[in-house]
Chains A and B, each alone.
Chain A
Amino acid sequence: MREFLAMGGYAAFVWPAYAVTALAFLLSIWQARRAHRLALEAARRRLAMEEGEQS
Protein backbone atom coordinates (compact mmCIF):
# COMPACT_ATOMS: atom_id res chain seq x y z
CA MET A 1 0.00 0.00 0.00
CA ARG A 2 2.76 2.43 0.94
CA GLU A 3 4.51 1.54 -2.30
CA PHE A 4 1.31 2.24 -4.25
CA LEU A 5 0.88 5.64 -2.58
CA ALA A 6 4.51 6.55 -3.31
CA MET A 7 3.87 6.18 -7.09
CA GLY A 8 7.53 5.38 -7.72
CA GLY A 9 8.57 8.80 -6.41
CA TYR A 10 5.99 10.71 -8.48
CA ALA A 11 3.36 10.91 -5.70
CA ALA A 12 3.66 14.72 -5.50
CA PHE A 13 2.57 14.98 -9.15
CA VAL A 14 0.26 12.01 -9.71
CA TRP A 15 -2.05 12.46 -6.70
CA PRO A 16 -2.64 16.22 -7.12
CA ALA A 17 -3.49 15.57 -10.80
CA TYR A 18 -6.12 13.00 -9.77
CA ALA A 19 -7.40 15.27 -6.97
CA VAL A 20 -7.88 18.23 -9.33
CA THR A 21 -9.77 16.01 -11.78
CA ALA A 22 -12.03 14.64 -9.02
CA LEU A 23 -12.71 18.19 -7.86
CA ALA A 24 -13.71 19.28 -11.37
CA PHE A 25 -16.13 16.33 -11.64
CA LEU A 26 -17.73 17.08 -8.28
CA LEU A 27 -18.00 20.81 -8.97
CA SER A 28 -19.53 20.32 -12.45
CA ILE A 29 -22.08 17.85 -11.08
CA TRP A 30 -22.91 20.11 -8.12
CA GLN A 31 -23.28 23.20 -10.34
CA ALA A 32 -25.52 21.38 -12.82
CA ARG A 33 -27.84 20.04 -10.13
CA ARG A 34 -27.92 23.38 -8.33
CA ALA A 35 -28.82 25.26 -11.54
CA HIS A 36 -31.67 22.82 -12.19
CA ARG A 37 -32.95 23.12 -8.61
CA LEU A 38 -32.81 26.94 -8.71
CA ALA A 39 -34.71 26.99 -12.03
CA LEU A 40 -37.40 24.74 -10.52
CA GLU A 41 -37.71 26.96 -7.44
CA ALA A 42 -37.90 30.12 -9.55
CA ALA A 43 -40.64 28.57 -11.71
CA ARG A 44 -42.55 27.48 -8.63
CA ARG A 45 -42.40 30.97 -7.11
CA ARG A 46 -43.50 32.59 -10.34
CA LEU A 47 -46.47 30.26 -10.74
CA ALA A 48 -47.49 30.80 -7.11
CA MET A 49 -47.42 34.56 -7.68
CA GLU A 50 -49.54 34.27 -10.84
CA GLU A 51 -52.11 32.20 -9.01
CA GLY A 52 -52.13 34.73 -6.18
CA GLU A 53 -52.92 37.51 -8.63
CA GLN A 54 -55.77 35.59 -10.24
CA SER A 55 -57.64 34.77 -7.03
Chain B
Amino acid sequence: MDWTWFHRLGSPPHVYRIAGRLTPWFAWPAALLLAAGLYGGLVLAPPDYQQGDGFRIIYVHAPSAWLSLMIYSTMAISAGIGLIWRMKVAHAVAASCAGVGAWFTLVSLVTGMLWGKPMWGTYWVWDPRLTAQLILLFLYLGYMGLRQAFDDPQRADRASAVLAVVGVVNVPIIRYSVEWWNSIHQAPSVMKMERPSMPVDMLVPLLVMLLAFTLCFVAILLVRLRGEVLARERTASWVREVIAQ
Protein backbone atom coordinates (compact mmCIF):
# COMPACT_ATOMS: atom_id res chain seq x y z
CA MET B 1 0.00 0.00 0.00
CA ASP B 2 1.14 3.51 -0.82
CA TRP B 3 1.49 5.55 2.36
CA THR B 4 2.83 8.76 0.82
CA TRP B 5 -0.57 10.46 1.28
CA PHE B 6 -0.28 9.83 5.02
CA HIS B 7 3.25 11.20 5.27
CA ARG B 8 2.23 14.26 3.27
CA LEU B 9 -0.42 14.96 5.92
CA GLY B 10 2.48 15.68 8.25
CA SER B 11 4.06 18.15 5.85
CA PRO B 12 3.08 21.76 6.68
CA PRO B 13 3.38 23.23 3.14
CA HIS B 14 1.27 20.41 1.73
CA VAL B 15 -1.37 20.84 4.46
CA TYR B 16 -1.39 24.62 3.94
CA ARG B 17 -2.06 24.27 0.21
CA ILE B 18 -4.58 21.43 0.48
CA ALA B 19 -6.51 23.25 3.23
CA GLY B 20 -6.75 26.35 1.05
CA ARG B 21 -7.94 24.36 -1.93
CA LEU B 22 -10.53 22.38 0.07
CA THR B 23 -12.13 25.30 1.94
CA PRO B 24 -14.63 26.40 -0.76
CA TRP B 25 -15.72 22.77 -1.27
CA PHE B 26 -16.99 22.77 2.32
CA ALA B 27 -18.02 26.42 2.66
CA TRP B 28 -20.41 26.62 -0.30
CA PRO B 29 -22.34 23.39 0.38
CA ALA B 30 -22.51 24.49 4.03
CA ALA B 31 -24.04 27.85 3.06
CA LEU B 32 -26.59 26.23 0.72
CA LEU B 33 -27.55 23.58 3.29
CA LEU B 34 -27.87 26.24 6.01
CA ALA B 35 -30.30 28.21 3.84
CA ALA B 36 -32.29 25.06 3.03
CA GLY B 37 -32.30 23.92 6.67
CA LEU B 38 -33.45 27.32 7.92
CA TYR B 39 -36.30 27.37 5.42
CA GLY B 40 -37.27 23.80 6.26
CA GLY B 41 -37.05 24.33 10.01
CA LEU B 42 -38.70 27.72 10.29
CA VAL B 43 -41.28 27.52 7.49
CA LEU B 44 -41.95 23.99 6.21
CA ALA B 45 -41.87 21.99 9.46
CA PRO B 46 -45.26 21.91 11.23
CA PRO B 47 -45.53 23.22 14.81
CA ASP B 48 -45.04 20.58 17.50
CA TYR B 49 -48.26 19.25 19.04
CA GLN B 50 -47.01 19.99 22.56
CA GLN B 51 -44.46 22.77 22.18
CA GLY B 52 -46.00 24.71 19.28
CA ASP B 53 -43.46 26.84 17.43
CA GLY B 54 -41.14 26.85 20.45
CA PHE B 55 -39.70 23.51 19.36
CA ARG B 56 -38.04 25.24 16.37
CA ILE B 57 -35.13 26.09 18.66
CA ILE B 58 -34.11 22.46 18.09
CA TYR B 59 -32.78 23.37 14.63
CA VAL B 60 -30.01 25.48 16.14
CA HIS B 61 -29.74 23.82 19.58
CA ALA B 62 -29.19 20.18 18.58
CA PRO B 63 -26.66 20.91 15.79
CA SER B 64 -24.63 23.19 18.13
CA ALA B 65 -24.66 20.57 20.86
CA TRP B 66 -23.57 17.93 18.32
CA LEU B 67 -20.78 20.20 17.08
CA SER B 68 -19.60 20.94 20.62
CA LEU B 69 -19.03 17.20 21.20
CA MET B 70 -17.79 16.40 17.69
CA ILE B 71 -15.25 19.25 17.80
CA TYR B 72 -14.04 18.19 21.24
CA SER B 73 -13.54 14.61 20.03
CA THR B 74 -11.65 15.86 16.97
CA MET B 75 -9.50 18.05 19.22
CA ALA B 76 -8.74 15.21 21.66
CA ILE B 77 -7.90 12.70 18.90
CA SER B 78 -5.60 15.17 17.11
CA ALA B 79 -3.97 16.12 20.40
CA GLY B 80 -3.44 12.41 21.14
CA ILE B 81 -1.89 11.84 17.70
CA GLY B 82 0.33 14.87 18.28
CA LEU B 83 1.46 13.50 21.64
CA ILE B 84 2.17 9.98 20.43
CA TRP B 85 3.78 10.66 17.04
CA ARG B 86 5.06 14.17 17.80
CA MET B 87 3.27 15.44 14.72
CA LYS B 88 3.23 19.25 14.50
CA VAL B 89 0.30 19.36 12.12
CA ALA B 90 -1.83 17.25 14.49
CA HIS B 91 -1.17 19.76 17.29
CA ALA B 92 -2.08 22.55 14.89
CA VAL B 93 -5.42 20.84 14.15
CA ALA B 94 -6.15 20.49 17.87
CA ALA B 95 -5.31 24.14 18.51
CA SER B 96 -7.55 25.17 15.59
CA CYS B 97 -10.53 23.30 17.05
CA ALA B 98 -10.69 24.98 20.45
CA GLY B 99 -12.04 28.43 19.59
CA VAL B 100 -14.84 27.18 17.34
CA GLY B 101 -15.72 24.44 19.84
CA ALA B 102 -16.02 26.95 22.66
CA TRP B 103 -18.38 29.14 20.62
CA PHE B 104 -20.71 26.29 19.77
CA THR B 105 -20.69 24.97 23.33
CA LEU B 106 -21.77 28.43 24.45
CA VAL B 107 -24.46 28.48 21.74
CA SER B 108 -25.78 25.07 22.84
CA LEU B 109 -26.01 26.35 26.43
CA VAL B 110 -27.68 29.67 25.56
CA THR B 111 -30.16 28.17 23.07
CA GLY B 112 -30.90 25.43 25.62
CA MET B 113 -31.66 28.06 28.25
CA LEU B 114 -33.94 29.90 25.81
CA TRP B 115 -35.73 26.62 25.16
CA GLY B 116 -35.85 25.65 28.82
CA LYS B 117 -37.53 28.82 30.01
CA PRO B 118 -40.86 28.35 28.17
CA MET B 119 -40.87 24.52 28.39
CA TRP B 120 -39.45 23.78 31.86
CA GLY B 121 -40.23 27.16 33.43
CA THR B 122 -36.59 27.94 34.17
CA TYR B 123 -33.48 28.98 32.27
CA TRP B 124 -31.15 26.74 34.24
CA VAL B 125 -31.18 23.69 36.51
CA TRP B 126 -28.17 21.83 37.85
CA ASP B 127 -29.12 18.81 35.82
CA PRO B 128 -26.46 16.18 34.88
CA ARG B 129 -26.49 16.99 31.17
CA LEU B 130 -26.56 20.76 31.61
CA THR B 131 -23.79 20.63 34.22
CA ALA B 132 -21.60 18.36 32.07
CA GLN B 133 -22.09 20.67 29.09
CA LEU B 134 -21.01 23.63 31.23
CA ILE B 135 -17.90 21.64 32.21
CA LEU B 136 -17.25 21.12 28.48
CA LEU B 137 -17.19 24.91 28.04
CA PHE B 138 -14.68 25.19 30.91
CA LEU B 139 -12.54 22.46 29.30
CA TYR B 140 -12.38 24.45 26.07
CA LEU B 141 -11.59 27.66 27.94
CA GLY B 142 -9.00 25.86 30.10
CA TYR B 143 -7.37 24.41 26.98
CA MET B 144 -7.10 27.86 25.37
CA GLY B 145 -5.90 29.48 28.59
CA LEU B 146 -3.26 26.80 29.07
CA ARG B 147 -1.92 27.33 25.53
CA GLN B 148 -1.65 31.06 26.16
CA ALA B 149 0.31 30.47 29.37
CA PHE B 150 3.33 29.07 27.51
CA ASP B 151 5.75 31.10 25.40
CA ASP B 152 7.26 27.99 23.84
CA PRO B 153 4.74 26.59 21.30
CA GLN B 154 6.00 23.01 21.69
CA ARG B 155 5.46 23.02 25.44
CA ALA B 156 2.07 24.64 24.92
CA ASP B 157 1.20 21.85 22.45
CA ARG B 158 2.16 19.09 24.84
CA ALA B 159 0.59 20.50 28.01
CA SER B 160 -2.67 21.44 26.31
CA ALA B 161 -2.81 18.07 24.53
CA VAL B 162 -2.72 16.25 27.87
CA LEU B 163 -5.65 18.37 29.09
CA ALA B 164 -7.59 17.71 25.87
CA VAL B 165 -7.05 13.94 26.09
CA VAL B 166 -7.94 13.70 29.79
CA GLY B 167 -11.03 15.89 29.31
CA VAL B 168 -12.44 13.55 26.66
CA VAL B 169 -14.07 11.46 29.44
CA ASN B 170 -16.65 14.24 29.59
CA VAL B 171 -17.88 13.47 26.05
CA PRO B 172 -19.58 10.11 26.78
CA ILE B 173 -20.84 11.55 30.07
CA ILE B 174 -22.71 14.27 28.15
CA ARG B 175 -23.85 11.86 25.46
CA TYR B 176 -25.33 9.28 27.84
CA SER B 177 -26.25 11.57 30.77
CA VAL B 178 -29.93 11.48 29.83
CA GLU B 179 -29.94 7.68 30.00
CA TRP B 180 -27.69 7.20 33.05
CA TRP B 181 -29.38 9.73 35.30
CA ASN B 182 -32.91 10.89 35.78
CA SER B 183 -32.57 14.06 33.73
CA ILE B 184 -34.96 16.91 33.04
CA HIS B 185 -33.48 17.04 29.53
CA GLN B 186 -35.54 15.24 26.93
CA ALA B 187 -34.19 12.00 25.48
CA PRO B 188 -32.53 12.05 22.05
CA SER B 189 -34.98 11.90 19.16
CA VAL B 190 -32.56 11.43 16.25
CA MET B 191 -29.23 10.00 17.39
CA LYS B 192 -30.46 6.64 18.57
CA MET B 193 -30.52 3.11 17.34
CA GLU B 194 -34.22 2.70 16.56
CA ARG B 195 -36.18 4.81 14.15
CA PRO B 196 -36.11 8.53 15.02
CA SER B 197 -39.23 9.52 16.99
CA MET B 198 -40.07 12.50 14.83
CA PRO B 199 -42.28 13.09 11.80
CA VAL B 200 -40.34 13.28 8.53
CA ASP B 201 -41.07 16.94 7.81
CA MET B 202 -39.57 17.87 11.20
CA LEU B 203 -36.70 15.41 10.92
CA VAL B 204 -35.36 16.27 7.46
CA PRO B 205 -34.59 19.95 8.26
CA LEU B 206 -32.82 18.79 11.43
CA LEU B 207 -30.62 16.36 9.50
CA VAL B 208 -29.91 19.08 6.93
CA MET B 209 -28.89 21.47 9.72
CA LEU B 210 -26.67 18.83 11.36
CA LEU B 211 -24.85 18.33 8.05
CA ALA B 212 -24.67 22.10 7.38
CA PHE B 213 -23.16 22.82 10.81
CA THR B 214 -20.63 20.01 10.37
CA LEU B 215 -19.52 21.21 6.91
CA CYS B 216 -19.32 24.77 8.18
CA PHE B 217 -17.09 23.63 11.03
CA VAL B 218 -14.77 21.85 8.59
CA ALA B 219 -14.51 25.01 6.45
CA ILE B 220 -13.71 27.17 9.50
CA LEU B 221 -11.24 24.56 10.76
CA LEU B 222 -9.39 24.59 7.42
CA VAL B 223 -8.99 28.39 7.51
CA ARG B 224 -7.88 28.26 11.16
CA LEU B 225 -5.45 25.47 10.33
CA ARG B 226 -3.81 27.54 7.59
CA GLY B 227 -3.22 30.38 10.03
CA GLU B 228 -1.99 27.99 12.70
CA VAL B 229 0.43 26.15 10.36
CA LEU B 230 1.76 29.41 8.98
CA ALA B 231 2.29 30.91 12.44
CA ARG B 232 4.39 27.88 13.44
CA GLU B 233 6.59 27.88 10.32
CA ARG B 234 7.37 31.52 9.84
CA THR B 235 10.97 30.97 8.86
CA ALA B 236 10.65 27.89 6.64
CA SER B 237 11.47 28.39 2.99
CA TRP B 238 8.02 27.25 1.77
CA VAL B 239 6.51 30.27 3.52
CA ARG B 240 8.43 32.45 1.06
CA GLU B 241 6.74 30.70 -1.85
CA VAL B 242 3.31 30.95 -0.24
CA ILE B 243 3.66 34.68 0.33
CA ALA B 244 4.94 35.30 -3.17
CA GLN B 245 1.79 33.73 -4.63
Contacts and interface: CB of A to CB of B under 8 A. Distances in A.
A25 to B, nearest CB: 7
A12 B107 CA distance: 16
B227 A32 contact: yes
Q: Which of B57, B106, B242 has the most CB of A within 10 A?
A: B57
A6 to B, nearest CB: 8
A39 B230 contact: yes
A24 B52 CA distance: 26
A35 B228 contact: yes
B12 to A, nearest CB: 12
Interface string B210-242: 000000100010011011101100110001101
Nearest to A6: B53
Given A18-B60, A24-B104, A13 B114 contact: yes
Interface of B: 42-43, 47, 52-54, 56-57, 60-61, 64, 99-100, 103-104, 106-107, 110-111, 114-115, 117-118, 216, 220, 223-224, 226-228, 230-231, 234-235, 239-240, 242-243
Top 9 nearest A-B pairs by Cβ distance? A8-B53, A36-B227, A35-B227, A10-B54, A39-B230, A32-B223, A21-B60, A17-B111, A8-B52
Given A7-B54, A29-B220, 6 more contacts: A8-B53, A13-B115, A20-B110, A28-B100, A31-B99, A32-B100
